[in-house]
Amino acid sequence: MVVRHFVALLLATAAVFVGSLPSSPVTFIFGDSLTEVGNNNYLPLSLAKSNYPHYGVDFKDGKATGRFTNGRTIGDIISAKLGIPPPPPFLSLSPTDEHVLKGVNYASGGAGILNDTGTYFIERLTFDDQINNFAKTKVWMKNKIGEEEANKLCNEALYFVGIGSNDYVNNFLQPFLADGQQYTHDEFLELLTSTLAEQLMRLYQLGARKTVFHGLGPLGCIPSQRAKSSRGECLKQVNLWVQQFNSKVQKLISTLNAHLPSSQLVFADTYGAVLHLIQNPMSYGFKVSNTSCCNVDTKVGGLCLPNSDLCKDRHEFVFWDAFHPSDAANVILAEAFFNIIFTKA
C-alpha cells in the first residue's frame, strides 16, 4: 500500500519510458554518490570514499564496498528488478572483461555536471570523465565484437543518469568556493544546463538512445542542509533553486528529443514524491526524516565514520548519513522510479 501510494504520486507528474521492459538489458549508469558502487576506491587520493564501516553494514556480508549507504543503492535494487546483477564499477574492469558487454557503472562520489564541482575531494570522476570512460568502453566493445555489433549494443542499451546534486551541495552552496560567489543563481543555472546539454549530446553521439535523467530531489531537506537552519527546517530557497533546475532540464530534454533522431530521453521527476516522503515519513513506515541514522556532525563532513553511533533501528530512518538515503528508503525510491520508467500510462 505504501509503495502504491508513492508510485501514484510519481506517475502523476513523471514521464513514462517508451517501450516495454527489456529482457536482461545492458545498463550503463552515470552519476554521483547516490549510485556509486566503488569507482572511488580506485582513486588513491580521493577524499570521497565510503569503503569503511559503518557503510555496507546491511549489504552482503556486512562489508563496505564504496556504496554511500548502509545497504543497497537505488541502482542495485532496480538491477535486481530487471533480473541482472548490478553493473560493476568501470575502474574495476580491464579491456578484455566480459562485463563491458553487459553493463558498467561509471558513477563517482563527489561528481558533478561541472568539472570544478567537488574539487576539494581531490579525486573524483566528473560527468565529463564518466563519458570519457564510456567512450573507452565502446572501444573495448568494438575490439571484442566489431563496430557494427558494438553500435547496436549501445543503441539498445539503457542509460541512467543521476547527477547535479553536488553542483549545488558541494559547489554553489559552499560560500568559500568561487561559483557561489561569482554567479547569480540564474547565471549558475544557465552554466549547468548548457554544460549538461553538451554532455547529453555527446552520449547520444556515442550511441545512447534510451536515456533516463533522474531529476534532483528536495536538497534543502537533506540533513546537511537542515543543519544550516536554526530550527532544523528545510531550506526553502535551496528547494526553489532545485525546482528551477528540474524545470529547465525537463525543457532541455524535450528540445533534444525533438531534434535528435530516435532519441528517447526521459526526465524522471521525483521531487514532489520525495518531498512527501520526507514530510510524511510515518505514511511510508519510517519514524525519522529530519536527521540521519548515523549520528554524524552534519556541519563537518556529514559522512558516517567508523566511530559514529548508529540508530537502533535503521529501517526507521529515511536518511543514512547527512546526504544519502538509507537502504530502506532506497527500496521505496527504487520501486517508484522503476514504475516511472517501465510502466505504461
Active site residues: 33, 321, 324
Residue 314: name the closest of 284, 286, 336, 290 by CA.
286
Q: Tell me how far apart the alpha carbons of residues 92 and 89 are, in angstroms, rounded to a whole number.
A: 6
Q: What is the dihedral of CA 67, 73, 78, 82, to 10 degrees?
A: 30
What are 223's three cell numbers?
A: 540533513
Geometric angle at alpha carbon 22, from 212 and 203, rounded to 5°: 35
State the Cα–Cα distance between residues 136 and 158, nearest whole angstrom: 18
CB 321 within 8 A of CB 67: no
State the angle between helix axes of 2-11 and 271-279 in degrees (0 to 180), rounded to the nearest 10: 140
Long-range contacts of 148-155 (CB under 8 A, 24+ apart): 151/207, 153/26, 153/101, 154/206, 154/207, 154/208, 155/207, 155/209, 155/262
